Structures are given as structure tokens and as C-alpha cells.
Chain A
Amino acid sequence: MALALTACACLPASASAVSEQATLHASFSPDRLGASTTISFGFQIATTEGLAPPPLTSLDLRMPAGINFTTTTLGLAICQPAALLAKGLAGCSPNSRLGFGSAYVEVPFGTGSGDEIPEIQALMGPPHDGNMVVLFYANGKTPVYAQLVFSGEVLPAYGAFGSQLATAVPLIASVPGGPDVSILSVQSTIGPSRLTYYRHSHGRLVPFHPVGVSVPARCPRGGFPFSAQFVFQDGSSTSASSTVPCPPRRRRG
């Protein structure tokens, strides 16, 4: 339940001929003011020429004021990037998991419709300069075999936005020494949906569901705004925005 808006790319003079367009969508589940929720967000990148977009190098996702990762019980453990790279998810505590998703990438020798990286995990990483860090673990098997860890830093944002997730996206070589793949779309969640944490109680491990981000108690006029800025390897950039409409008022009685 979200409205998605698109924006055209801003191309520097020296950039390639393609012009990127991005769409962003976001939603809350459950979508209820003040409730612990799971945020789903996703983006798609395309070009007006129908070609694969240039490889993505950074993504800055801005979230509405009042949405705050640090107020949750998500990420009660820290996942170390080295352990994640070495052992995959088994290298980190389940209590470090924040969400999960998938992505579509386009390889230069692909079909043009993209290939899915079915597993993207979001985990709590070691803080940087006191700021919360989200690790993204992408486990690609085919056609690109790559296990990648990259990180986003949660920073303050201003105006209608309360925080931003500033993420540097590494280049993903299609084959060793080959051209880099293009990211066509990403879907991910941040929240307790389908996550199970564990705590010790009387010598036993007891499963529980973490508390997610709270939907703010008040909805701003026009809904909850999300925005994303995309920067590509060739220096071009584009942006997209999305709004989660205010949930319907609950009737009393």
C-alpha cells in the first residue's frame, strides 16, 4: 500500500548516453499508527533506452521522521563482516538479523530480463562513529557466483525525513576480470516479520520475536515520505520517492 513516484536521471556532461529512471516503493506491515511494524522497501532501475543501467555504486534511502531503527529490539547482537563472509549467515547470531530480501541483476551476457539473487540478508553490523550500521549480505549462486557483504550507515536526516540509510554498493564482476553487473531491482524488509530471536532463560534458549520499528503515532499530511538517491558507476545519478499513505483511522467500539 504505497504510492511510487519516479524521477529521471541527472547526467553529467561526460556520462554515457543512457538515462536512468528509478522507482521506489515502501510499505508498513502492519500499517497501523504506533504499532511495531516491518518496513518493506524496494526499487527498480531502468533506462529510457531499454538498456541495462550502469552499475549502482551508492544508494541513500531516506525514511520519514519518527521512524527510527534504534528504538527497536532488532539487532541485539552484532554481526562481524569477516565472519559473515567466511561462514555466511551461520557466522552470525540470529539476533543480529534485521530483515531479508532479494535482487535482480543484469549480466552483460544475460537474457535482458535479469537474473535473481534470491537471498539478501540485512544484519546489524559494528557501529561506525557511533552510528548504527546495516550489513547487507548477498548470496549469489548463478549466473553470478558471489557472496558479498556491503554496509549502510544510519545517519540523521532533516525536514520530513528522520533518518537515512547511506549505502555504498560494491561493484560486482560478472566473471573474474569481466564487466560489472547492473542492479535492476532490490526488495528488502527491515523488521520482525519472519525473524526469530533467542534469549537464555533458566539454562534454555527461548525463541521470541523482536520488536520492530514503530509506525509514528501521528501521520504527516500526505502520508509518510520515503526517498532514495541512486549514484552510478559512470557518475550519473537519479532519485525516486514514495509515500506510504496514512492508515485509516480505527473506529471505536
Chain B
Amino acid sequence: MLSGVAVLLASVGASLGVGAALEVGVARAGEPTAHVSRTISLSETAHLHRTSGRGITIDQPLNEMGSASGTIRGAIYIHLKLPAVNRVTAEVNIYPSGGSITGYATARYSVDGGTASFSGTMSIARGTGSYDHASGSGLSFSGTIQRSNDAVSVHLSGRLSV
């Protein structure tokens, strides 16, 4: 019966243009549970403003918040650090309706006058709620920082399993 449900969900997923796969787990009561993972094509754009910190440093993150729009909508928080003059690392937290997604990114960082830009990749570390099984790696992570006020624009794209 379970496999029949999975086949049904997989076919529904395919008809919606998303990939689907079945995971079987064991619930606390010992009952087998099933999770159908979907693969969605993520394309997010977010505009954020500084909440604390002043510029990025090696030991002090630049903390930003804003809203993401695209495949997933919700509040987004990014903590940026600069471990080297040309490399940035980031923790990205997105809070769509019904859950959250956390990812970590590393990117090349460069400054061109009043604008700094970064481009690299992000991996999904964990999720909660509806995104409990979120996973993905090699997602594109890029954006800009307005150096005068630390306003950040960021774009995320790639394949995300949820």
C-alpha cells in the first residue's frame, strides 16, 4: 500500500514538474513512516539590511535581515564573515511558511568601489517543519553589498530536495 502511495505521489510530482522520491523511516511508536521528497528548482532573490555589526570582519559577522521572494517566500537572515580578503562565508536562514531552511555558503569576494560582490556555492544543512528533510548542495549563491550602508542583495538558485 505504501509503495502504491509513493508511486501515486511520484506521478503527481512528475505532473507538477518536480522530481519525487520515497524515504521510509520509523516513527517513535515503531510505525513505519514515509516521506516523499520533492526536488524543486530554487530561484530566490532577497534584499536585506544590516541589523548589527559594521562591515564584515574576520571575527565579527555582518548580520542582515530581509525578505526572500521567488520559489520560496519568507523572512531571510544572513550572517556574513570574511575569513580572508577575497573570501566570504555565510550562514543563511530562510523562514517560509511552515518551517525553516538553513544553509552555509562560501564565496569569492571582491570590492569594486562602493559595491562589493560575492559569488560561490551554498549547501543546505538542515530544515524544520515542512522543510524538515531539506537538502541540497552546490546551489549558486551570489550577491552584492553596498559598502556605504551594508545593504545586501542576494540570489540563490539550484536544485533543492524537500
Contact = CB atoms under 8 A, between A and B. Distances in A.
A160 interface: no
Given A73-B147, A75-B111, A127-B112, A66 B85 contact: no
Contacts, number: 79
A72 interface: yes
Nearest to A36: B54
Nearest to B145: A70
Interface string B79-94: 0001011110000000
Given A66-B58, A217-B59, A71 B82 contact: yes
Interface string A87-121: 00000000110000000000000000000000000
Contacts of B87: 156
B97 interface: no
B54 to A, nearest CB: 7
Contact of B85 (A34, A163, A214): A163
Given A68-B85, A78-B112, A162-B85, A211 B60 contact: no
Contact of B110 (A69, A73, A124, A130): A130
A154 B85 contact: yes
Contacts of B108: 130
Contact of A70 (B54, B60, B111): B111
B59 A78 contact: no
Interface in B111-148: 111-114, 116, 147-148
A69 B85 contact: yes
B86 A130 contact: yes
Contacts of B148: 73, 76, 199
Contact of A75 (B55, B58, B82, B113): B113
Contacts of A71: 55-57, 82
A131 interface: yes
A131 B113 contact: no
Contacts of A96: 113
Contacts of A163: 84-85
Contacts of A75: 111, 113
Contacts of A126: 112
B55 to A, nearest CB: 4
Interface string A216-243: 1110000000000000000000000000
A65 B58 contact: yes
Contacts of A156: 84-87
Contact of A72 (B55, B84, B113): B55
B59 A70 contact: no
A158 B43 CA distance: 36
Nearest to A128: B110
A7 interface: no
A82 interface: no
Contacts of A216: 57-59
Contact of B55 (A131, A199, A214): A214
Given A126-B112, A130-B108, A163-B84, 17 more contacts: A34-B60, A75-B111, A76-B114, A78-B113, A95-B114, A96-B113, A127-B110, A130-B86, A132-B85, A132-B111, A154-B85, A156-B85, A162-B84, A163-B85, A214-B55, A214-B60, A217-B57
21 contacts: A66-B57, A66-B59, A68-B58, A68-B82, A70-B109, A71-B57, A72-B147, A73-B55, A76-B147, A77-B114, A126-B112, A127-B110, A130-B86, A130-B109, A130-B110, A156-B86, A214-B57, A214-B60, A216-B59, A217-B57, A217-B60
Closest 4 CB pairs of A and B: A130-B110, A71-B55, A76-B114, A78-B113
